Amino acid sequence: MQQIIFAIVTIAAFGFAAKQFLKIRRNIFLGKDKNISDQPGVRWKNVLLVAFGQKKMFKRWIPAVLHLFIYVAFLFTQIELIELLVDGFFGTHRFFASMLGGLYTVVISSIELLSVGAFFATLIFLIRRNLLAIPRFQMDEMTGFPKFDGNMILVLEIILLIGVFSMNGADKVLQSMGAEHYHMTGNFAVSSWLGPALFGGLSETTLIGIERFGWWLHILTVYAFLNYLPISKHLHIMLAFPNVYFAKLAQKGEMENMPEIMNEVKSMMGLIETDPDAPMDELPEFGSNDVMSLDWGNVLSAYTCTECGRCTSVCPANITGKKLSPRKIMMDVRDRATEIGKKLDSGDMQWVKEELKAEATTLTKENFDDGKSLFDYISNEELHACTTCNACVEACPVLINPLDIILKMRRYEILTLSAGPKDWTPMFTSIENSGGVWQLPDARDKWAEEATSQN
């Protein structure tokens, strides 16, 4: 009966999680297609050093060490999780113990020692978030669900550890009693003394109940965590690796050119020939105003964001009291992508573009229009405050680039909407008229012409 229940619960948990993860994938690819396949060797190196090796985390060594305990414990615990799945489906108990012998004792002991470190790290993280009032965890975007989310995953971590040590501790006492099915597995580093200290003197029936309680608590917490991930910032556990792989490799100060603008400037300067009699194409939209006009790499980064706030804590605009928070930019893009995804799932034809309603039969990302955009989430004040210093890009431990999104939205505002701060208008006018940012009466290259004529 236990195997049947386990199979039903496991299939349901993985099935529902898979459905949620496929929606996340769909939301990421709401963004425009972009070919990111250059320099695979460099990209894999980044994955090993930055995503797997946590290289950039150690710029702040105290949280880095604490995070390392949780991270390594998470990786090693997957070995025990595989055994739980095998035992659950086949009705065995500690399936790998007889196969690995003394190595099994070393593996489980290592997991227990790492789990103790993870337990203390989790407590410290809870204190940092809730008692020490660290500024980057107290900002406006971190109220409500983001605050709950940051605490919830830490609470799940503690529950998971309670399950592990209840299971192992009761198991060790049952082994010492010679209980049926509980064969000797050697002395575990923690449970061999913690089990007798907590559960010594209890009856065999009670101990079996505690062991089964710990076993089920462990596996059900894992399933709860798996299904919570798609709505949590902890989705970075999975997405950090592809995000680091597909991150921009160009120098951080290098901005992408827009071919349409670049060709127009070259034409004006006589660097390329154009046919003046050629028919005018429809004016393109410059920059981005919504998820669909960002590229899918930008949206992937939004879903990868850990909400750690390192980007915002080093942003000079934010430090000087301006409204900009690079972390909020990424959270807003993720929230907007999720909103669009939910509306697409609804299939409600009210979200079809007005001019396409007559011929549309289904709601798709191509004909979607709910009358909103990223500008309903991100204000012009936030976009204008950015100094493009790249501090946020440098600070991110998983190579997220908030600046790329800010620049694309600025370009849309200025080039497509012909809007922007009034203070910027004289600069644009001067560039257009004289080729320089300063309002000088002479053309920018007049000095060169005079020098040439004198020679």
Question: What is the average per-residue pLDDT within 394-415?
Answer: 93
CATH 1.10.1060 boundaries in the chain: 259-264+284-420
Tell me which of 123 and 448 has the higher pLDDT.
123
Tell me which of 338 and 452 has the higher pLDDT.
338
Torsion from C-alpha of 173, 176, 180, 183, nearest 10 degrees: 100
Instruction: Give the C-alpha separation, 334 to 305, whole Å.
Output: 9
Instruction: Give the C-alpha separation, 258 to 416, whole Å.
Output: 13
Q: How do residues 72-85 score in pLDDT, each as one tens digit?
A: 888 888 888 899 99
Q: How do residues 241-251 score in pLDDT, each as one tens digit?
A: 999 999 999 88
Q: How confident is the model at residue 98 (pLDDT cuts 50, 70, 90)?
A: confident
Question: What is the average per-residue pLDDT within 379-387?
Answer: 93
- The pLDDT, as a whole number, for residue 276 is 61
- The pLDDT, as a whole number, for residue 441 is 65
Q: Lowest-confidence range among 88-102, 147-161, 427-441?
A: 427-441
Task: With a cut of 80, say whether residue 412 has pLDDT above it.
Answer: yes
- The pLDDT, as a whole number, for residue 277 is 61
Question: What is the average per-residue pLDDT within 403-432?
Answer: 86
Question: What is the average per-residue pLDDT within 170-195?
Answer: 88
- The pLDDT, as a whole number, for residue 279 is 59
Angle of helix 61-90 versus helix 102-130 axis, rounded to 10 = 130
Q: Lowest-confidence range among 13-27, 42-56, 209-223, 253-267?
A: 253-267
- The pLDDT, as a whole number, for residue 274 is 65
Q: How confident is the model at residue 431 (pLDDT cuts 50, 70, 90)?
A: confident
Question: What is the average per-residue pLDDT within 362-368?
Answer: 91
Give the pair of three-digit tokens for residue 77. Answer: 């615990």
Three-state secondary structure of the chain: CHHHHHHHHHHHHHHHHHHHHHHHHHHHCCCECCCCCCCHHHHHHHHHHHHHCCHHHHHCHHHHHHHHHHHHHHHHHHHHHHHHHHHHHHCCCCCCHHHHCHHHHHHHHHHHHHHHHHHHHHHHHHHHHHCCCCHHHCCHHHCCHHHHHHHHHHHHHHHHHHHHHHHHHHHHHHHHHCCCCCCCCCCCCCHHHHHHHHHCCCCHHHHHHHHHHHHHHHHHHHHHHHHHHHHCHHHHHHHHHHHHHCCCCCCCCCCCCCHHHHHHHHHHCCCCCCCCCCCCCCCCCCCCCCHHHCEHHHHHHHHHCCCCCHHHHCCHHHHCCCCCCHHHHHHHHHHHHHHHHHHHHHCCHHHECHHHCCCCCCCCCCCECCCCCHHHCCCHHHHHHCCCCCHHHHHCCCCCCHHHHHHHHHHHHHHHCCCCCHHHHHHHHHHHHHCCCCCCCCCCCHHHHHHHHHC
Q: Lowest-confidence range among 141-155, 274-288, 313-327, 419-433?
A: 274-288
Q: How confident is the model at residue 428 (pLDDT cuts 50, 70, 90)?
A: confident
Question: What is the average per-residue pLDDT within 49-74?
Answer: 88
- The pLDDT, as a whole number, for residue 283 is 66
Task: With a cut of 60, say whether residue 280 has pLDDT above it.
Answer: no
Task: With a cut of 70, say whether residue 34 has pLDDT above it.
Answer: yes
Task: With a cut of 70, say whether residue 444 has pLDDT above it.
Answer: no
Note the pTM of the prediction, 2 decimals.
0.86
- The pLDDT, as a whole number, for residue 423 is 81
Decide: residue 398, CB within 10 A, 0-12 exposed, 13-18 middle, 19+ buried: buried
Decide: residue 93, CB within 10 A, 0-12 exposed, 13-18 middle, 19+ buried: middle
Question: What is the average per-residue pLDDT within 211-215?
Answer: 93
Q: How confident is the model at residue 424 (pLDDT cuts 50, 70, 90)?
A: confident
Task: With a cut of 90, say whether residue 429 has pLDDT above it.
Answer: no
Tell me which of 9 and 279 has the higher pLDDT.
9
Q: How do residues 282-332 score in pLDDT, each as one tens digit?
A: 667 788 999 999 999 999 999 999 999 999 999 999 999 999 999 999 999
Q: How do residues 221-267 score in pLDDT, each as one tens digit?
A: 999 999 999 999 999 999 999 999 999 998 877 877 777 777 777 77
**CATH architecture under which domain 259-264+284-420 falls:** Orthogonal Bundle (1.10)
Q: Lowest-confidence range among 287-296, 379-388, 438-447?
A: 438-447
